[in-house]
Structure 1
Amino acid sequence: MPARRRLLAASLALPGLVATRPARAETWPSRPVRIVLAYPPGGSTDVLARTLADRLAVAIPGPGFVVENRPGGAAVVGTLAVATAPADGHTLALGNNQTHAANAAMVRDLPYDPVADFAPIGRLAEVHHALVVPATSPARTLADLAARGKGGGSLTYASSGVGSASHVIAESFVRREGLSATHVPYRGGAQATTDTVGGVVDFFVSTWPQVVALVRDGRLRALGIGAPRRLPEVPDVPTFAEAGAPALAVDAWFGLWGPARTPEAAVARLAAAVPRILAEPEMVGRLGTLGFTPAPLAPVEFAAFQRAEVARWKGLVELTGIRLEG
């Protein structure tokens, strides 16, 4: 397909990346290891990647680790670049629930298989989502909000972009509750948050770090959060399970992969280093300021987790009907 050819050409434009070939027998790492990020610089995911790269360079002495931002095509371009890279351990992907789960169902003619084309190294961290409304909203609970979208009423909801997790989770709430609601997409979460505070829209499903300060300050009201239990900093905010909507508890998560057939020795060294790094007090504090919760999983457990997430996102996409062109 033309879209597939364009994405393949774009991925191969990354310096040093060519079609996957068997790894050579060599000492690893023999040159700098690229951590490819399918998102632009400056966001919290970019900070996570660069912080991890700095710590890996200490944990695994050698030529070092560098982050290469490769955004585009609903996060497909950068992810495909890793899938088609030499399987020698010198190119890795730092991806998430979009690149390695949701896109499998959401992107038409996806030019990579998020499971078969990658070697899982480990899960890194997770971030909860919360449903927030303006502080002036009459809705005090999810049931209140749902009632406003039924019986002739209508709601508007913000998202950080068409096909984003905030879009899919919010639309799943709309479909499950049988609400009348209009989607208002934004280019990122910042403006979506601002307009929710201002009452331009009725609700927004956001990552918790994006809104926690505003909830604490009383400028937004959180009607539920996807945590397994109430958070100490906001004990009055119920979990989605407590609020009667357990299906909304869909975390954002982040992981590390190499191309399929990455040498086992490289995977093993990385898989051993990552949990130690995530347990460092300085790293825990750094991630905490960004809203990340360290959540390491070893390769085998991470592979099983990812397969379950692919199935979960397939169900969400089937429910919402949201699709993207890569």
Structure 2
Amino acid sequence: MRITRRHALALAALPAALAAPAVRAQGSDRPIRLIVPAPPGGPTDILARVTGEKAAAALGQPVVVDNRAGGGGVIGSEATHRAAPDGLTVMIGHNQTHASNQAMMARLPFNVVEGFTAVAKLGTVHHATVVPANSRAQSMADLQAMGRNGGRLNYASSQAGSASHVIAETFVRRSGLDATHVPFNGAAPAATATVAGQVDFYVSTFPTVANLIRDGRLRALSVGAPRRLADFPAIPTTEEAGVGYMAVDAWFGLFGPAGLPAPVAERLAAAFIGTFADAEVQRRLAAAGFTLDPLPPAAFAAFQRAEVARWAEMVQLTGVKLDG
């Protein structure tokens, strides 16, 4: 993976002062807690550990990953929301925690925009539709046929209300399938259940299932990418598979509590985005299926606001709601 010229310019646009050691969080000798609102093993966790390890050196502070799974990402998000805005607590958020939850949860204990400081967009991943290796479905058309005319399917999601849930439910409704949603507590457990044949299909972020596909433990029927992936040329795109509407990427970024001082947010953004210049970081994230498309604080904040509106439309279409 390489950083494109556009991404390099985005990084260069960060003020040079961001890297100055004088701009530090309060208590800068203390570790930075990097909250992951998901269990270990999924894409959010992978991104946090790969970037956090390298960002610590740039920041001169340890970065400690704290997995706070559950509640559709609300548990980890609320811990960040309630933390002091001193730069010592940040989180890796994504399109559910900081966009779609606003539309899905009537009793969300914070506003996903006003309750946080958008620090840096880090990357995106495509979604793939996978089935157990011994499934009768060799294509998306086969999967559709299995769920029609008296057939009944079960499908996994990483959690209720996640992108994997919304995208899969869109597929079910638009295809006229008889299917039951089976939510799991995280992307890795959902993938494991699919390998075991406990469900018929799973719309997963690609990093979660890439090695399982490579090892032949899962079969990918489509991937929501604009073109076939170089490392997986046999997997058709959603457009080629006749389900182009499933090409919805997941995005991931760094958030802090509301009121995080701009110099602190900018320093954190520079440190985390700066890890993408490291060849080993690029290699590890590329192997996990990430596309690096960083944005600094102001641009990321504008991106997030647009995503809140976009996901509100998708939630309205599918009717997916969470109790909150």
Q: Report the TM-score when normalising by structure 1.
A: 0.81
1:124 aligns with 2:141: no
Cα deviation, 1:103-158, whole Å, max 9, x if unaligned, reads 11222310111112222111112222111223444433323322333344332222
Task: Evaluate the alpha carbon distance shift between residue 41 and residue 225 of structure 1 in structure 2; reply closer, same or farther with a 3 A threshold.
Answer: closer
Partner residue of 1:156?
154
Partners of 1:163 and 1:153 lie apart in 2 by 25
Task: Kindly provide the amino acid, as one letter, of the partner of residue 307 in structure 1.
Answer: R
1:53 aligns with 2:52: yes
Q: Please report how far the alpha carbon of residue 217 of structure 1 lies from its aligned counterpart in structure 2 after TM superposition.
A: 4.0
Aligned pairs for 1:91-102 within 5 A:
91-102=89-100
Specify the SS of the correspondent of 1:262: coil
Cα deviation, 1:227-280, whole Å, max 9, x if unaligned, reads 222101221211112222222122222111222232121122222333221221
Task: Evaluate the alpha carbon distance shift between residue 87 and residue 240 of structure 1 in structure 2; reply closer, same or farther with a 3 A threshold.
Answer: same
Partner residue of 1:144?
142
1:30 aligns with 2:30: no
Q: Please report how far the alpha carbon of residue 283 of structure 1 lies from its aligned counterpart in structure 2 after TM superposition.
A: 1.1
Partner residue of 2:299?
301
Partner residue of 1:229?
227
Q: Which moved more, 1:39-48 or 1:100-109?
A: 39-48
Partners of 1:325 and 1:273 lie apart in 2 by 37
Q: Please report how far the alpha carbon of residue 101 of structure 1 lies from its aligned counterpart in structure 2 after TM superposition.
A: 1.2
2:253 corresponds, among 242, 252, 255, to: 255
Task: Evaluate the alpha carbon distance shift between residue 80 and residue 148 of structure 1 in structure 2; reply closer, same or farther with a 3 A threshold.
Answer: same
Partner residue of 1:134?
132
Task: Evaluate the alpha carbon distance shift between residue 144 and residue 54 of structure 1 in structure 2; reply closer, same or farther with a 3 A threshold.
Answer: closer
Instruction: Flag the structure with more relative contact order, 1 or 2, with Cα contacts below 8 A and sequence separation at least 6.
Output: 2
Specify the SS of the correspondent of 2:255: strand
Partner residue of 2:176?
178
Structure 2 regions of 5+ residues with no counterpart? Answer: 1-21
Query: What is the Cα-based RMSD across aligned positions, in Å?
Result: 2.6
Contact 1:88 1:262 in 2 (8 A): yes
Specify the SS of the correspondent of 1:105: helix
Specify the SS of the correspondent of 1:272: helix
Contact 2:164 2:204 in 1 (8 A): yes
Partner residue of 2:316?
318
Q: Which moved more, 1:261-270 or 1:215-224?
A: 215-224
Contact 1:124 1:278 in 2 (8 A): no
Partners of 2:209 and 2:41 lie apart in 1 by 18
Contact 1:175 1:319 in 2 (8 A): no
Task: Evaluate the alpha carbon distance shift between residue 198 and residue 50 of structure 1 in structure 2; reply closer, same or farther with a 3 A threshold.
Answer: closer
Task: Kindly provide the amino acid, as one letter, of the partner of residue 120 in structure 2.
Answer: G
Specify the SS of the correspondent of 2:311: helix
Partner residue of 1:11?
none
Partners of 2:210 and 2:191 lie apart in 1 by 11
Partners of 1:127 and 1:283 lie apart in 2 by 16
Specify the SS of the correspondent of 2:155: strand
Partners of 1:219 and 1:66 lie apart in 2 by 32
Cα deviation, 1:9-62, whole Å, max 9, x if unaligned, reads xxxxxxxxxxxxxxxxx952231333233334565533432333332222123x
Partner residue of 2:5?
none
1:265 corresponds, among 263, 266, 274, to: 263
